[in-house]
Amino acid sequence: MVAELISVGTELLLGNIVNTNAAFLARECAKLGLSLYYQTTVGDNPERLRETVRQALERSDVVILGGGLGPTQDDLTKEITAEVFGQKLKEDAHTRERIQTYFDARGTKNITENNWKQAMVPEEAIVVDNDNGTAPGLILEKDGKIAILLPGPPNELIPMFRKDIYPYLHEKQPETIVSEMVKLCGIGESRAETMISDMIEAQTNPTIATYAKTGEVHLRVTARAESEEAARLLIKPVLKELRVRFGSQIYTTDEHVSLEQAVVDLLKEQELTLTTVESCTGGLLAGRLVNVPGVSEVLKQGFVTYSNKAKRKLVGVKKATLREYGAVSDRTAREMARGAILTTGADAAVAVTGIAGPDGGSVEKPVGLVYIAVAVRGQMYVQECHFTGDRLKIRESSVASALTLLRTGILETAED
Amino acid sequence: MVAELISVGTELLLGNIVNTNAAFLARECAKLGLSLYYQTTVGDNPERLRETVRQALERSDVVILGGGLGPTQDDLTKEITAEVFGQKLKEDAHTRERIQTYFDARGTKNITENNWKQAMVPEEAIVVDNDNGTAPGLILEKDGKIAILLPGPPNELIPMFRKDIYPYLHEKQPETIVSEMVKLCGIGESRAETMISDMIEAQTNPTIATYAKTGEVHLRVTARAESEEAARLLIKPVLKELRVRFGSQIYTTDEHVSLEQAVVDLLKEQELTLTTVESCTGGLLAGRLVNVPGVSEVLKQGFVTYSNKAKRKLVGVKKATLREYGAVSDRTAREMARGAILTTGADAAVAVTGIAGPDGGSVEKPVGLVYIAVAVRGQMYVQECHFTGDRLKIRESSVASALTLLRTGILETAED
């Protein structure tokens, strides 16, 4: 079945809020195996809304509308959809009662008249209770087409979808979709794609889609089948082939695991503690590692050694090194990592020093030049990087590369 | 002029990412005075993309497309739009050179063939340089209709829009729209709105829109007039009134100045150096300060004291304090700030310690409890905060509050 989303609301068209409902509903549709081809956002304008609903019902089997069900005059989604389905509105006694109960529970004495508008429903609609607000959800069916109307606030829409709409759609949908994520680090998007271009060209079911993140590439493998088991069987050989081609560049096949999580898990598994020493990234690397709950087991401290003096005083970089090679150099990066281990007694250290710009670059040391050093189990890994982009982009690329080099260092020095 | 947004990408239709580009572009259109009636998201499918582009060009003057400009086979936005405009693709020598430079700067020897696809542009298009990636932006014009093609990654799309697309559209728009930003810290959105509810209710031209950011509220005052001068005259009294109502809670009226920039400017102006000591934020605060170019003048170093031992060893928090009051306490925050000044000789210190969750909370010290201490010019400011949200949200709220308290401390101890 083909589904389509329509978000209704001027606040979306003005950019006052980000449309997180669309992302939520899209994920749910993917889980249900519904093909989602379009998402449209439209304002509280009757003509444009009517045209959008009509077009969506022509080209899709299921149209999910979010927003515009509230009590105000602007809220038109129900009225317009009922009109398109050729249904009149009538008062729903059950909903009227729920609205009364809702306000009673909040001690509201004078319920403003416009609230009762929410008890008016299309005459043949399935009414879906709203446990977190006053506007009920509505399902309209006609000639094999379905419209699902949901309240706009995410804290009403999400629980209602999970509780009642998902089971309703699941029943309607014969096919199942399963997708698996393969996350790579230390490789660019175009190179990754070239390495599997034959697989992408030949793909029908499953399909492989690539997504570029800063310093990472994610591959999503998606299969359709009559059952989840059958879909997983289709995915299995593709995952196996991807493992052969990308090897240790795959840091996880778990959708919910980030690169920092994978690195922290690896440190825990290998019983290693870590310290960070950052110059140009200025705390972003530690900050990203601390995203991981339970990181305290491996990360006890970190240093932001932004000035030369801090590099000397906090982690013992030699004055001579800074003078002869400069703060942004292979040598300084090494001494930062080594010094951090000596100062803290950590098992591993990762150091970053570079020129994030916009100023401070020269011909020999241009903006974007970054040195990363990883010291682990008596080994030292150093990488010279040349990044482009603005200051934040260079710093974020540095963090991703530092995590990748740290992961490499841990894996290469691991005892079997 | 009527504008319309089209976001291209399967990852949006699968709900893998939230469409923050749409919100950004919608806000920019509002600033430009463009009426935005539709936002559509469509996948990398030639027929559907073609139909969507055609429909948008029929009903709108300016169609802004984001995504689908990359090097892969999936990326079709340019090809389809060129076709709709009746233009052939030709190689753009300047873009080819930029792509070569981009890879040279990264030391990439073997540029995969598919990258050169990005140098192919519609024959009559205006080519817009991409400073943060390889796919250029493109502007196509025909019969009074405009299509603007932007790369999908926000770190490419946003700077490109600001630098080149905004001025281009501004020129096309007959009425002048002028808007001014007033940025507040240390106040919540609903309180800020209540304080100016009379102004919002009475507004026609200029209008005031409020945007909530983590720990900040931004007010955008927008006026329309025949000339920039006339628009500025309309805005002036509104800005004056906002200054009266919000006073020192206004940290800037410059749209491009972030809170961290305002704080760094203040430190420079007052000739103060700063050090950071972070527990639960784990480097995010220093990382945010280092966003500001030239921060090296005031921030020499920072500490991530994640463990109790690090709090003792690096900044001298007393063992007894940690034992009696715990790591998350007013006392510990104070000692972190004081200790950091003693250790580093900085003029000011800001310390953060708290429980970011999801684990580690208790009845007395729940998740979201954060202490911030600022030591400056012999004064100590401490704030107990209770934040809600997930781990990252709590940490980001802590960073915003730390910057706000630091700003307060500097302002209150300043000699006139």
pLDDT at A336: 98
pLDDT at A415: 79
Contact A96, A116 (CB under 8 A): yes
Neighbours of B330 (CB within 10 A): 15
SS3 per-residue string spanning chain B: CEEEEEEECHHHHCCCCCCHHHHHHHHHHHHHCCEEEEEEEECCCHHHHHHHHHHHHHHCCEEEEECCCCCCCCCCHHHHHHHHCCCCEEECHHHHHHHHHHHHHCCCCCCCHHHHHHHEEECCCEEECCCCCCCCEEEEEECCEEEEEECCCHHHHHHHHHHHHHHHHHHHCCCEEEEEEEEEECCCHHHHHHHCHHHHHHCCCCEEEEEEECCEEEEEEEEEECCHHHHHHHHHHHHHHHHHHHHHHEEECCCCCCHHHHHHHHHHHCCCCEEEEECCCCCHHHHHHCCCCCHHHCEEEEEEECCHHHHHHHHCCCHHHHHHHCCCCHHHHHHHHHHHHHHHCCCEEEEEEECCCCCCCCCCCCCCEEEEEEEECCEEEEEEEECCCCHHHHHHHHHHHHHHHHHHHHHHHCCC
A positions 363-392 inside 8 Å of B (CB): 366, 368, 384-392
pLDDT at B340: 97
The answer, for B355 touching chain A at a CB cutoff of 8 Å, is no
Contact A222, A206 (CB under 8 A): yes
Q: What is the mean pLDDT of residues A370-391?
A: 95
Exposure of A195 by Cβ count < 10 A (0-12 exposed, 13-18 middle, 19+ buried)?
A: middle
Do residue A45 and residue B37 have CB atoms under 8 angstroms apart?
Answer: yes
From first to last of its 416 residues, chain B has per-residue pLDDT tens of 999 999 999 889 988 889 999 999 999 998 888 989 999 999 989 999 999 999 999 999 999 999 999 888 889 999 999 999 999 999 999 999 999 998 888 888 888 888 999 999 999 999 999 999 999 999 999 999 999 999 999 999 999 999 999 999 999 987 778 889 999 999 987 788 889 989 988 888 998 888 778 899 999 898 988 888 999 999 999 999 999 999 999 999 998 899 999 999 999 999 999 999 999 999 999 999 999 999 999 999 999 999 999 999 999 999 999 999 999 999 999 999 999 999 999 999 999 999 999 999 999 999 999 999 999 999 999 999 999 878 998 999 999 999 999 999 999 999 76
Residue A101 has pLDDT above 80, yes or no: yes
Do residue B301 and residue A299 have CB atoms under 8 angstroms apart?
Answer: no
pLDDT tier at A168 (50, 70, 90 boundaries)? Answer: very high
Do residue B304 and residue A286 have CB atoms under 8 angstroms apart?
Answer: yes
Residue A72 has pLDDT above 80, yes or no: no
Nearest to A276 among B40, B290, B304 (CB): B304
Most confident of A64-73, A167-176, A332-341: A332-341
Rounded distance, CA B400 to CA B285, Å? Answer: 8
Q: Tens digits of per-residue pLDDT, A290-341?
A: 999 999 999 999 999 999 999 999 999 999 999 999 999 999 999 999 999 9
pLDDT at A416: 66
A positions 132-191 inside 8 Å of B (CB): 179, 188-191
pLDDT at B416: 67
pLDDT at B230: 93
Nearest to A18 among B18, B106, B114 (CB): B18
Which residues of chain A make contact with B133, given a CB cutoff of 8 A? 389
**What predicted TM-score, i.e. pTM, was given to this entire model?**
0.78
A positions 259-288 inside 8 Å of B (CB): 276, 278, 280-288
Contact A51, A17 (CB under 8 A): no
Minimal Cα–Cα distance from B230 to chain A, Å?
24
**At CB < 8 A and 24+ separation, what contacts does A313-316 make?**
A313/B301, A314/A277, A314/A343, A314/B301, A315/A277, A315/A339, A315/A340, A315/A343, A315/A351, A316/A342, A316/A343
B positions 75-104 inside 8 Å of A (CB): 102
Q: Which of A301, A317, A336, A344 to mutate to test the interface with B (most CBs of B within 10 A)?
A: A301
Do residue B45 and residue A38 have CB atoms under 8 angstroms apart?
Answer: no
Interstrand relation of A348-354 and A274-278 (parallel, antiparallel or unpaired): parallel
pLDDT at B139: 98
- In this prediction the ipTM stands at 0.77
Minimal Cα–Cα distance from B416 to chain A, Å?
30
| Mean pLDDT of all residues belonging to chain A | 93
Do residue A48 and residue B38 have CB atoms under 8 angstroms apart?
Answer: yes
Q: Which of B11, B29, B35, B41 to mutate to test the interface with A (most CBs of A within 10 A)?
A: B41
